[in-house]
Amino acid sequence: MKRPSFAQSDWLERLVRWGVYLLMCTPLVFSPRLLFPHSSTKGYVIFALVEVIAVGALWLLVKRPERRWRWDATSVALTVFVAILMLASLFGVDPSFSFWASVDRITGGFMWLHVLALYLVARTVFVTKEDWQRLLTVSVAVALVSAAIHLLDVLGIAHMVGTSGGSTLGNTSFYGAYLLFQIFFAAWLWRVGSTKRRRIYGGVAALVLIGILLTLGANAATISLAGGAILALGIWLWGSSRDEVSRAGQALTITLALIFFLTVALAFTPGSALQQTFTGLSTSSRFIVWDMAWEAMKDRPLLGWGLENFQYVSLEYYNPCLGSQRCGHEMWYDRAHNKLLDVGVEAGFLGLFSYLAVFFVAIRALLRRVTKRSMREMAALGVGLLAAYAVQNLTVLDVATTMMFWVLTLAWISSLTSSVDTTPTAKRSAWVLPSAVLASLLLPITLTTLVIQPVRANAALIASSYGMSFDERLENLPRAMHGSPQGEDLRRVYAANETGRMLWSTSIEVLSGMESQVMSEVDQQVEALFATMDTSPNYLRAPLAIAILEQARGRHFDPQYYQVAEQVMVEAVARNPVHPEPYWALASLYLEIGKTTEALELLEQVRTFAPELPVSYYNYVVGAVFLQDEEVIRQAATEALDTYPALLEKVSVLLQADLSERRIYFLYGLHL
């Protein structure tokens, strides 16, 4: 069937297209007034724009039924994958959290539904090569703006708050993944741009963005780009009409595939030089966390644990070496930092196979057209991009921005490799009009629920945590604690930790006259944290935050609050028998209330099951100092320094400190 030109374009179609163009600007959006300003802001913008353009696309189908497109294998595979994610979340360990997600990631069920909707919208309004060239031109232009911002930051001309070298994406790994897409988009414009000006634009942009990527230190994206470019060259040669050139392309492609599989095999071979190199480039904790993920997949093989629930996996299969030099320096993980394992944990082997199927059918569609002269560059660069994205995702995690560009890439491939079912007399599908009406009626509700309320709750958290007065803090606290299910648990923990930090660093004399406000603030936070524990009993951060608050409140106001902290932490220790932090928190409380022997027993247990953590030895010395037994202190200090000589300075400061003056400092240190 001949592909229609769709030269006629009405205002509704232009409106939807401009909505997608605005989505391309999402990487530039961030708000310092929100917690996690770079990720949360982008998530909310994606929610809002996708909902609006989805409604517009439905009314476009009502008005112009000929805009229907034929579902191809890529469209079906992506839809099936998202459906499995929804099913896995529904039957996972925490369905509510799976759909709403955390305030920092916002990549739960609702985000997946939105990016699927974006795919369907893009397939509806972007049909021809010219359509896609315009969209990718806008996307690359935005990338160039982000590159300019990055350069200004590097040169110290305009500092971006909290970027960590990642321009407006806030992280070099996330920014590297974003640039990966934009470099391939620019390369496609360079190779097949409809005008000389567009081809020059694509070539220059590709060079600029490659230069920016090389300066980032985003190793995964850089290596993936090189591999993807070589693979694209091999595919391009493979599609040549000349036999000798085609054979050279086949040889290059096969060689690259063999190198990839050999590299992966050696990377997972304990003690291999390649594994040591990989560890040096990333972190030694990767293989420990991947082992935890694999065990979790084996325990729930069919549909996994549900979206966003790796935080429970990291506690269920916690390895006490985490936090040590051998296993990296992090103790908390909410991702496996490997997309395949993340999908396997969240949606089981069923979800993992469906995820791989999306790549398979999209690449297959491209390879079937690689011998067509008009599709050769498209096929080569499309395969290269998908392969590069898949490889870099073996060591990093997905965020909303990269999810968005992944589905747009799939829509681009689907649109240009499949036919469109359209005739001037095409009849409107029966479902279109009711869907458009229903979506229009639901739009105010979804915008309020998924955008307005989360933004207000997020902003209220900042106001309640850093307000200039208790009145301001108390005014915003209810909304911060209960304003939206999206990110609710983390907001509660964050607010409690900030209040706890204030209470631990403030004397009761300073709080004189403000007791009722302080008690009201802590009451609301503790109540909210207990609500989190009721719905998510394995969410360890909640009891740890309660312990910080109640221990401080017991010291300042009423010793009865010590009992609350003790009860919560005893249960947390029982639930997490090899995680050091609940032991340390309970030990801090016991030292505070005079149960020094019990505290030393807890600290000794940590030293026993987590001997690779230098801090476990140091904390035991802290407990010994509180016991005020010279022999115990001497023995604890000797064991700590014999095992970890690097602790000499910290231990020396501890032993020389005046305990009466530094008592609160050392107790609070056990919570950190």
pLDDT of residue 396: 85
Number of Cβ atoms within 10 Å of the Cβ of 659: 12
pLDDT of residue 274: 56
Query: Over 70: is that where the pLDDT of 3 sits?
Result: no
pLDDT of residue 546: 97
The three-class DSSP label of residue 303 is: coil
Query: Which percentage of the chain shows pLDDT scores above 70?
Result: 93
pLDDT in tens, 223-246: 999 999 999 999 988 887 787 778
pLDDT band at 250 (very low <50, low <70, confident <90, very high): confident
Query: Over 70: is that where the pLDDT of 419 sits?
Result: no
pLDDT band at 252 (very low <50, low <70, confident <90, very high): confident
Query: Over 90: is that where the pLDDT of 279 sits?
Result: no
pLDDT of residue 277: 61
Number of Cβ atoms within 10 Å of the Cβ of 638: 12
pLDDT in tens, 307-324: 999 999 999 999 998 888
pLDDT in tens, 471-499: 888 999 999 999 999 999 999 999 999 99
pLDDT in tens, 582-604: 999 999 999 999 999 999 999 99
Task: Give the global pTM.
Answer: 0.92
Domain segments of the chain as ranges: 7-125+399-459, 138-216, 218-398, 579-672
Q: CB-hemisphere CA count at 13 Å for 272?
A: 12
pLDDT in tens, 388-417: 999 999 888 899 999 999 999 999 999 988
Query: Over 60: is that where the pLDDT of 2 sits?
Result: no
pLDDT in tens, 546-567: 999 999 999 999 999 999 999 9
The whole-number average pLDDT for the span 188-198 is 93
The string of DSSP letters for 173-224 reads HHHHHHHHHHHHHHHHHHHH-SSHHHHHHHHHHHHHHHHHHHHHT-HHHHHH
Query: Over 80: is that where the pLDDT of 174 sits?
Result: yes
Q: Which CATH architecture has domain 579-672?
A: Alpha Horseshoe (1.25)
pLDDT of residue 270: 61
The whole-number average pLDDT for the span 33-57 is 94
Q: Which of 86-100, 146-160, 432-446 bottoms out in mean pLDDT, i.e. has the lowest?
A: 146-160
pLDDT of residue 4: 43
Residues 6+ apart with CB under 8 A from 297: 304, 341, 344, 345, 348, 349
Instruction: Extract the tokens encoding 428.
Output: 């409107």
C-beta separation of 622 from 669 below 8 A: yes
What distance, in Å, lies between the first and last C-alpha atoms of the chain? 66
Number of Cβ atoms within 10 Å of the Cβ of 479: 19
Distance (Å, whole) CA 181 – CA 381? 11
pLDDT of residue 287: 83
pLDDT of residue 281: 53
pLDDT of residue 7: 43
Residues 6+ apart with CB under 8 A from 93: 305, 306, 309, 312, 538
The whole-number average pLDDT for the span 468-473 is 82
pLDDT of residue 640: 95
Distance (Å, whole) CA 263 – CA 108? 32
The string of DSSP letters for 354-377 reads HHHHHHHHHHHHHHTTTTSGGGHH
Distance (Å, whole) CA 462 – CA 477? 9
- Of 276 and 627, the structure prediction assigns the larger pLDDT to 627
Q: Taking Cα atoms as reference points, which of 288, 250, 254 lies closest to residue 270?
A: 288
C-beta separation of 137 from 193 below 8 A: no
Query: Over 90: is that where the pLDDT of 468 sits?
Result: no
Query: Over 90: is that where the pLDDT of 165 sits?
Result: no
Instruction: Extract the tokens encoding 192.
Output: 């097949």
Please state, rounded to an integer, the average pLDDT across all residues of the chain: 90
CA angle 117, 118, 123 (to 5 degrees): 100
- Report for 41-45, 65-69, 257-261: range of highest mean pLDDT: 41-45
pLDDT of residue 501: 93
Distance (Å, whole) CA 384 – CA 225? 8
Query: Over 50: is that where the pLDDT of 335 sits?
Result: yes
pLDDT band at 282 (very low <50, low <70, confident <90, very high): low
C-beta separation of 384 from 235 below 8 A: yes
pLDDT band at 265 (very low <50, low <70, confident <90, very high): low
- Of 262 and 333, the structure prediction assigns the larger pLDDT to 333
